[in-house]
């Protein structure tokens, strides 16, 4: 294979430009003399002089023909270079016992320590720049006897073939290889290199000489890394596969063996919502790699205001968890001041910045700050609780809701209370609630108009309705037909015989967070099976379109007897029916452990989530405040006409802006059986801060002057948690596969180990065109031809 390269001091493209410009100038100068003579001498004279000048000047580019000839067959060696963020670490001068790769003593260690790990590796692989101490890189010598692939990787950028010795003889540019990413999947990286075809093998060149050998097996793999594999398959598992394939791993480690001193924030945990009257509680997990006794400070900022600060002293514990507690009132009130006027906000964005500061020098400051965000809830959820009998069940539910700061309760419980009198006096008052919890007996005593309001509350505004029943005898009511449309069950005349009863979740309930009382699926099932079963159950069966969530089962034959908890969507809302009113028995010996948790979860699941922002014509919500880069985003909207009636079948778009610029738009589809409600789901999206607003055909933009925001946050940064070289893991992988481990400073020793894989070699030669006789003869010939034509034309 023969390739043309340029070895001049100046770039070849600059010489080419200067040569063309100079040749044009020379040609114009000669043309003044030759334009009076006849053709073809008239145009030959400028052409000959300009061509000779161009060839003379282009000698500065050093055009050279490189010839490669293969003797035998080359084995394939793959070099895997870890380019994750930790490879950008500049190590301290803690280890002076190792030799540098030039073979000298620790003399050059100090200058290495001013460079990152990746820079030191690239200097060894590609070579030091042409200075007084220029050195040829190891890749060059290795490619004389092997076909070499240089592959870089990080989780975010994926594997990439940076250099193929057969496809491109020119070494890669060091500045094109940079560290990036927040994780190191080294096990997966190793497995991808074990395949016969390198990642992105065609990205370098389509040269046939390279593709001819793409299918060859890999003779050996060289892994250059600090050994910190923190996601995906482990290095040890990948090494097992290499061992079965009889492919050795030669591991080259870089970095200090001891963790450098560093302080950082690993993760932040807190609720996704905080109510104004509540407190935001959470914890910060710190990376604490400081000498014991070193003072530092943890601070939390909100809108440039310090809301939490704590002075700490290092325990050199590696990881440390610090709890924080911030009043919700100051967060919500301050956040409200930043929002534009003219809209009603049920939630406000609260952006927090967590940071740690230490006067002692650290290996990295990139992990000393972490941003987080949540919704501040400006309005409590409203629940209406009604029970004319005043039984134990509703009283305990009332207590559970009142103990939760997220709820504002309106309670009508007791035998002296008439259902019709305790019910809201107007439809508007009813619609101000988010959830209604009542007994079936109480609901049956409502007037026909009130029952219709109840149905509209669920179907139109998406309110939640929980109805509790029991086996008590009940009379007939002329309004039963209205309630029957709401209920997810139909009543049976024959009673249910309860024999050895127990509770069992259906598959639908297992997939619903509202029914999770255990840490895992198995523990959750066990918890439900041990909860006390009711002693009085209404006999029911599922209505069309409904689904059972909890069943009453016979433990003797393990057969379901009937639904105990059933649900269905009714219009825009949800109805949940309980065939018994005895969940208060779950408090036996455990108090609120299960009962209060269950009812808090059921209430949140049943009610429709409020819109984040509303005005006279629209309501808008984009769900959570924080999303991951793998999450889908759901945008909900509600549109009203001038007379406050629902606006149906409108053409609505969700306009998504990122960092102030329009990013994308998504059409919103009308929701089934919900007038004026629209919804769309899109994503995932790249990390960034997003704003969502609405556009609707036929509606002026100033009438839809409302927006909401969300943030797509990057994955947890695993890279900077551990920065020492994990030499033991790399050594085990090399030993298991029959390879060898060494540190970068003595990595040249691997050359001898790779001799066993030599099956051929590359013989190289070069022809210096700019110093060759043909080049010189061409210039002389051009000038001689010009002289001859000048003399013949009488110009000499």
Dump pLDDT digits (tens) for 677-706. Answer: 888 999 899 999 999 999 988 777 777 888
- pLDDT score for 428: 82
Query: Do 556 and 446 touch, CB atoms closer than 8 A?
Result: no
Output DSSP code: residue 646.
B
Cβ proximity of 37 and 793 under 8 Å: yes
pLDDT value, residue 705: 82
Q: Is 495 strand, coil or helix?
A: coil
Which pLDDT tens digit goes with each residue over 317-326?
A: 888 999 999 9
Q: What confidence score (pLDDT) does residue 208 get?
A: 33
Q: What is the pTM of this model?
A: 0.65
Task: Give the chain's domains with CATH numbers.
Answer: 2-68+767-793 (no CATH), 74-259+722-758 (3.40.50.410), 262-377 (2.60.40.10), 381-606 (3.40.50.880), 613-712 (2.60.40.1930)
Select from 586, 608, 291 the least CA-distant residue to 433: 608
Residues 6+ apart with CB under 8 A from 558: none
The tokens describing 68, both together, are 């490669």
Chain CA centroid to CA 192, Å: 22
Cβ(271)–Cβ(374) below 8 Å: yes
Looking at the chain, how many residues does it have?
A: 796
CA distances from 10 to 55, 175, 364, 779 (A): 15, 19, 38, 21
Tracing tokens 């609707």 back to the chain, one arrives at: 696
The pLDDT value given to residue 355: 96
Beta strands in 343-434, from DSSP E residues, in sequence order: 344-345, 347-357, 369-377, 381-387, 407-413
Dihedral over alpha carbons 501, 504, 506, 508 (to 10 degrees): 130
Q: 338: alpha, beta or left, given left = phi > 0 and alpha = psi -120 to 50?
A: alpha
pLDDT at 284: 95
Distance CA 617, CA 392 (A): 43
- The pLDDT, as a whole number, for residue 81 is 92
C-alpha to C-alpha distance for 182 and 40, rounded to whole angstroms: 69
d(CA 672, CA 545): 14
H-run or E-run covering 665 = strand 661-670
The torsion angle over the Cα atoms of residues 82, 85, 88 and 91, rounded to 10 degrees, is -90
- Cβ-contact 434, 610 below 8 angstroms: yes
Could you give the count of Cα atoms lying within 13 Å of 582 in the half-sphere of its Cβ? 17
**Spans of the chain below 50 pLDDT:** 94-112, 131-132, 157, 198-215, 475-478
């Amino acid at each position: 294979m023969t390739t043309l390269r340029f070895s001049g001091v100046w770039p070849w493209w600059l010489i080419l430009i200067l040569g063309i410009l100079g040749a044009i100038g020379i040609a114009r100068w000669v043309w003044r003399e030759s334009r009076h003579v006849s053709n073809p001498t008239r145009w030959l004279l400028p052409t000959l002089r300009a061509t000779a000048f161009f060839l003379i000047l282009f000698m500065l580019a050093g055009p050279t023909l490189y010839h490669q000839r293969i003797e035998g067959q080359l084995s394939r060696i793959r070099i895997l270079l870890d380019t994750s963020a930790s490879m950008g670490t500049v190590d301290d001068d803690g280890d002076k016992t190792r030799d540098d790769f030039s073979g000298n003593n620790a003399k050059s260690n100090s200058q290495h320590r001013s460079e990152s790990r990746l820079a030191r590796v690239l200097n060894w692989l590609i070579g030091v720049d042409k200075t007084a101490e220029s050195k040829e890189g190891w890749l060059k010598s290795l490619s004389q006897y092997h076909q070499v692939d240089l592959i870089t990787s990080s989780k975010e950028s994926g594997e990439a073939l940076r250099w193929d010795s057969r496809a491109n003889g020119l070494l890669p540019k060091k500045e094109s290889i940079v560290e990036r990413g927040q994780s190191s999947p080294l096990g997966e990286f190793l497995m991808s290199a074990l395949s016969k075809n390198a990642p992105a093998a065609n990205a370098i060149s389509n040269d046939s000489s390279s593709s001819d050998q793409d299918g060859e097996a890999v003779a050996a793999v060289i892994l250059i890394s600090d050994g910190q594999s923190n996601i995906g398959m482990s290095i040890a598992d990948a090494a097992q596969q290499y061992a079965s394939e009889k492919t050795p791993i030669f591991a080259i480690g870089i970095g200090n063996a001891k963790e450098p001193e560093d302080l950082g924030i690993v993760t932040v945990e807190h609720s996704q919502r905080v109510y104004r009257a509540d407190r935001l509680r959470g914890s910060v997990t710190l990376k604490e790699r400081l000498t014991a006794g070193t003072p530092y400070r943890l601070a939390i900022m909100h809108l440039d205001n310090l809301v939490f600060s704590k002075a700490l002293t290092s325990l050199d514990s590696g990881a440390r968890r610090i709890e924080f507690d911030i009043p919700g009132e100051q967060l919500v009130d301050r956040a409200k001041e930043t929002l534009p006027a003219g809209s009603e906000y049920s939630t406000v964005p609260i952006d927090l910045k967590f940071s740690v500061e230490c006067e002692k020098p650290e290996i990295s400051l990139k992990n000393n700050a972490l941003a987080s965000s949540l919704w501040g809830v400006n309005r409590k959820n409203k629940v209406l609780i009604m029970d004319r009998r005043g039984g134990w069940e509703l009283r305990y539910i009332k207590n559970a809701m009142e103990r939760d700061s997220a709820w504002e309760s309106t309670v009508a419980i007791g035998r002296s209370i008439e259902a019709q009198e305790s019910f809201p006096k107007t439809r508007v008052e009813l619609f101000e609630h988010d959830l209604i919890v009542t007994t079936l007996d109480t609901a049956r005593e409502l007037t026909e108009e009130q029952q219709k309001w109840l149905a509209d509350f669920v179907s139109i505004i998406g309110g939640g309705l929980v109805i509790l029943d029991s086996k008590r005898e009940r009379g007939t009511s002329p309004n039963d037909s209205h309630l029957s449309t709401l209920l997810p069950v139909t009543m049976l005349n024959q009673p249910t015989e309860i024999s050895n009863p127990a509770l069992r979740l259906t598959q639908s309930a297992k997939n619903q967070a509202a029914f999770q009382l255990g840490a895992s699926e198995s523990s959750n099932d066990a918890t439900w099976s041990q909860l006390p079963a009711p002693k009085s159950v209404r006999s029911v069966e599922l209505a069309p379109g409904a689904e059972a969530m909890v069943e009453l089962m016979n433990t003797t034959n393990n057969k379901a007897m009937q639904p105990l908890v059933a649900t269905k969507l009714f219009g825009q809302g949800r109805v949940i029916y309980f065939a018994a009113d005895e969940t208060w028995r779950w408090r036996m010996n455990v108090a609120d452990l299960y009962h209060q948790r269950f009812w808090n979860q059921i209430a949140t699941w049943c009610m429709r989530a409020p819109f984040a922002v509303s005005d006279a014509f629209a309501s808008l919500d984009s769900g959570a405040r924080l999303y991951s880069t793998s999450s889908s985003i759901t945008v909900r909207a509600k549109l009203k006409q001038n007379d406050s009636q629902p606006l149906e079948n409108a053409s609505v778009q969700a306009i998504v802006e990122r960092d102030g610029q329009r990013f994308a738009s998504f059409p919103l589809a009308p929701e089934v059986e919900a007038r004026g409600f629209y919804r769309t789901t899109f994503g995932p999206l790249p990390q960034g801060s997003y704003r969502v607003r609405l556009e609707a055909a036929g509606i002026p933009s100033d009438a839809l002057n409302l927006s909401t925001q969300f943030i797509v946050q990057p994955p947890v940064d695993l890279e900077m948690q551990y920065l020492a070289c994990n030499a033991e893991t790399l050594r085990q992988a090399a030993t298991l596969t029959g390879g060898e481990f060494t540190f970068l400073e003595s990595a040249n020793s691997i050359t001898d180990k790779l001799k066993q894989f030599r099956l051929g070699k590359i013989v190289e030669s070069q022809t210096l065109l700019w110093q060759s006789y043909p080049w010189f003869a061409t210039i002389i010939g051009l000038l001689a031809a010009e002289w001859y034509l000048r003399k013949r034309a009488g110009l000499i």
